Structure 1
Amino acid sequence: MDVVVIETPQLGDRSYLVHDGNVALVIDPQRDIDRVEAAAREAGVRITHVAETHLHNDYVTGGLVLAEKHGAAYLVNAEDHLAFTRVPVTDGQVIRVGQLVVRVVATPGHTHTHLSYVVRDDTHDDGAEAVFSGGSLLYGSVGRTDLVSSDDTATLAHDQYSSVRRLVDSADPDAALYPTHGFGSFCSIGPASHQESSTIGEQAKSNHALTDPDEDHFVSELLANITAYPAYYAHMSPLNAAGVGPAALAVPDSVNTEELTRRLDAGEWVVDLRHRVAFADGHLKGSVSFEYGKGDNFTSYLGWVIPWNQPLTLLGPRGEVEKAIRDLARIGIDSPDAAVGHQPGEWSPESTPASYPYGEWTALLKGRAPGDVVLDVRRPEEFGASHIKGALNIPVYELPGKITELPETKIWVHCATGYRASVAASLLDRAGRDVVLINARFKDAAGAGIETVP
């Protein structure tokens, strides 16, 4: 048995190609299936089965399209209500994929109908075993349980506690563990580790979901650690249940100057992909900054901040636009328009670029006047752990609906690294507010002389 890991760091997820040298099972494929197909070609194997651990909440699956394209069996829980035909599978069912034996294990918790798959190499009695746990057992923790319904969160947390134990009992201690979530995905919760690999036995000794002997204590801790998740999540499971077609990944022809001006004047969402400092130095008035490729934040925060199903235009160099289109397709944002170029003069030659000031913590220390607002756009739990004395906290994903609540004064905006602050600064600039971007790490604030609490 060979397992090929297909990383999607932009969403903190992994997909897997599992094969015996001839035929392959794909587990939890992302929508851009060309990466899976390339892995299969390189391995010299034929895709005969595609399996989902659950109807995903953080991305649009490529499972249906991949299965149909390759004539593969599409394995999805029989209890899921879908608008298309699939091969329904249930707890305890065994499927053969060439020389591999795939056993289905019901592991409710992340969702009600969550499944895991225990795969064994059947070429000899002591063949290797691997566990594909989706959003159930992760490295160091488990998948969050609040994505289905607030009414079900506690029940699913109890289910998660039981499921991971059942899963551990279903596999050998030395079986390799391959979760889908837990690599930065908002689908994980609790003290997930940063390790790159693990086994069932290792997790049994170290994972708090397996070492905590008190189920109620585990559940209470899990619920206490629940934080906000991206707004686009609400649309992923329904899209996956309905069945989504192939991703359109081609870069469209550039929008002309007149049409781009009309969109900006109409208040449509025009997203500048360039570096945050380049944006602050000069940008098209009315555009917003979502720097591409900085810390893999682009997809999650764009999908979180910009309202769902709104017209979207991307501005940036062709390579970045192409990558952004792929990333956005993974969360169901299809076929955005674009204007390709490296600077505002290439997108709209007759426009006068807008700008706003930026600086590090020393700029705040020297330039802040009485009445100025320091706006912290980190998440509430980050703010609660430590913040600048007197700062106001509005998470960046809530800012579009709360700009009018801010006083009419200069606003100094910061986050943990500068990325979210640059998004927030552009939103404030778009709204005509007097803003300064603090392009610095929060952890350096105290050292620069900024008073922080607690």
Structure 2
Amino acid sequence: MQIDIIETTGLGDRSYLISEDGVGVVVDPQRDIDRVLALAEKRAVHIALVVETHLHNDYLTGGLELATTVGADYVVPAGDTVEYERVPAGDGDVLEAGSMRLRVLHTPGHTHHHVSYVLADADRNVQAVFTGGSMLYGSTGRTDLVGPEHTDELTHAQYHSVRRLADELPDGTPVFPTHGFGSFCSATPTSGDSSTVGEQVAVNPALTQDEQTFVDQLIAGLTVIPAWYSHMGPGNAVGPTPVDLSMPRPVDPTELAERLAAGEWVIDLRSRTAFAAGHLPGALNFELALANFVTYVGWLVPFGAPITLIGETEEQVADARRELVRIGIDRLAGAAVGSPEALAAGRELSSYPVSDFTGLAAAMAADPDLVVLDARRADERAGGGVRGSRHVPIHDLPGSIDEVPDGNVWVYCGSGYRAAIAASLLTRAGRRPVLVNGGYGDPDSGAAAAGLHDDSATS
């Protein structure tokens, strides 16, 4: 029996292909199913089952299309109301695929109807457990995605679900969660790339704390929910349409200029330093970094708003499109490929300076009234910030530009990625930003190393 991990780094998720004797089972597939199909072909297996642990909140599933394409049974938790044919998975059910057996455990918490799948071989020996958004590596799935009125109930349920997994499974059982590798579906940061039930007994908060302490700490630590999440559960209940990974319609320089003049979302995929050095006026910089890109496009761009991509190559645009379809951004208005100079067609480019925390320290020493903007989330800001800085989380900035003073604005975040988005938004609004490009917490070059960190800078 073989278990292959299919990473989706941009969303912090994993899907799985289980293979044995020419038969395959897929767990929680992402929407771009070509990756699964290619792996199944490589393993020479026929996919007999496609199973979901829950109706996902951070991506649109590829399960329905995959099951339809290969003629597999599509298994969804029995309690979820959906608008398509499926095999309902209820507590205690046993699903068969060749010699493999998957026992369904109802593990509510992340959602009301969430299930986990215990994998066993033909001799009923437990091989693994697929825990979705229940037991994660050193954490659990967050419990506030269904609605705030359900959070307390689901947090208590999550505690008992994780304990049920630990009680019913052998300590050596490998744990394969869907979330927890950077996903905002994790209640708290996870640790490690692999684990077993026995290892989790020693480190997982649901297994090391009493119930009320676990509930109180989890709820207190919940962070803001990305905007696109509200569209994923309903989309998965209806059933996502077949995925389209084709190249968007080409946009020439004249049309591109019109879209920029109209204030549309024109997204430049280049690196933050290349963008800062020269870009089309009005373009916004969402660098195609696979750990951040789709998160912040989905968070900042109003769902359904027309998006035009600018890429250096067609491959870059294709990669961006793949990332975006995973959260249902399907209808791109178009794409332009080429250097900013070529796409400007003679028009002047915009630019802004790039510095670091050492440069920021020097600038603040020269000008005590310098405007400094912190684009991190509130939970990051709670640990302190640059002294005297103003805090506007990046997801709030589009609606809060008027709160940022005119003139020069130095902007930073945890790594430089969100600061680059903020700088491009500020430039479009007529401000003059300086991008602080670097890791806030870097011991050698971050804010503290430059003498800028202030524990009291939390508002």
What interval of TM-score do these two structures reach, taking the shorter chain for normalisation?
Answer: over 0.9
Counterparts of 1:341 and 1:442 in 2: how far apart (Å)?
33
How far off its partner does 1:100 sit?
Answer: 0.6
- The residue number in structure 2 matching 1:268 is 264
The TM-score with structure 2 as length reference comes to: 0.95
Q: Is the 8 A contact 1:325 1:335 kept in 2?
A: no
Counterparts of 1:49 and 1:210 in 2: how far apart (Å)?
31
Distance 1:449 1:175, change over 3 A: closer
Runs of 4+ in 1 over 4 A off after TM superposition: none
Equivalent positions of 1:156-195 (< 5 A) are: 156-193=154-191, 195=192
Counterparts of 2:453 and 2:88 in 1: how far apart (Å)?
58
Equivalent positions of 1:38-53 (< 5 A) are: 38-53=38-53
2:314 aligned with 1:316, yes or no? no
How far off its partner does 1:86 sit?
Answer: 1.0
Q: Is the 8 A contact 1:51 1:63 kept in 2?
A: yes
AA matched with 1:384: A
- The residue number in structure 2 matching 1:23 is 23
How far off its partner does 1:209 sit?
Answer: 0.8
SS of alignment partner, residue 313 of structure 1: strand
Counterparts of 2:23 and 2:81 in 1: how far apart (Å)?
29
SS of alignment partner, residue 347 of structure 2: coil
- The residue number in structure 1 matching 2:75 is 75
| Aligned residue-pair number | 449
Counterparts of 2:391 and 2:23 in 1: how far apart (Å)?
53
SS of alignment partner, residue 382 of structure 2: helix
2:79 aligned with 1:84, yes or no? no
Equivalent positions of 1:185-264 (< 5 A) are: 185-193=183-191, 195-212=192-209, 214-264=210-260
How far off its partner does 1:278 sit?
Answer: 1.0
- The residue number in structure 2 matching 1:132 is 130
- The residue number in structure 1 matching 2:454 is 452
Counterparts of 2:189 and 2:419 in 1: how far apart (Å)?
26
- The residue number in structure 1 matching 2:95 is 95
Q: Is the 8 A contact 1:182 1:188 kept in 2?
A: yes
Residue of 429, 433, 436 corresponding to 2:434 = 436
Deviation digits for residues 289-335 of structure 1 (CA, Å, limit 9, x no counterpart) = 001126x1111111111111100001012221111100000010014
Deviation digits for residues 375-430 of structure 1 (CA, Å, limit 9, x no counterpart) = 00011111120211111111101100111122223211001111110000001111
Counterparts of 1:102 and 1:403 in 2: how far apart (Å)?
52
The percentage of counterpart residues that share the same residue type is: 50
Counterparts of 2:343 and 2:168 in 1: how far apart (Å)?
58
Q: Is the 8 A contact 2:132 2:179 kept in 1?
A: yes
AA matched with 1:382: E
- The residue number in structure 1 matching 2:286 is 290
Deviation digits for residues 356-380 of structure 1 (CA, Å, limit 9, x no counterpart) = 1221223323334343311000111
AA matched with 1:172: P
How far off its partner does 1:191 sit?
Answer: 4.8
SS of alignment partner, residue 74 of structure 1: strand
Deviation digits for residues 41-94 of structure 1 (CA, Å, limit 9, x no counterpart) = 111100011010000000000000000111110001121111111111211111
- The residue number in structure 2 matching 1:363 is 359
SS of alignment partner, residue 273 of structure 2: helix
How far off its partner does 1:37 sit?
Answer: 0.7
Deviation digits for residues 145-200 of structure 1 (CA, Å, limit 9, x no counterpart) = 0101001111100000011111223322211110000111110012521x111111
Residue of 341, 355, 362 corresponding to 2:337 = 341
SS of alignment partner, residue 218 of structure 1: helix
- The residue number in structure 2 matching 1:411 is 409
Counterparts of 2:216 and 2:361 in 1: how far apart (Å)?
41
Q: Is the 8 A contact 2:182 2:189 kept in 1?
A: no
Residue of 382, 385, 390 corresponding to 1:384 = 382
More divergent stretch after superposition (149-158 vs 431-440)? 431-440
SS of alignment partner, residue 249 of structure 1: coil
Structure 2: runs of 5+ lacking an equivalent: none
AA matched with 1:390: G
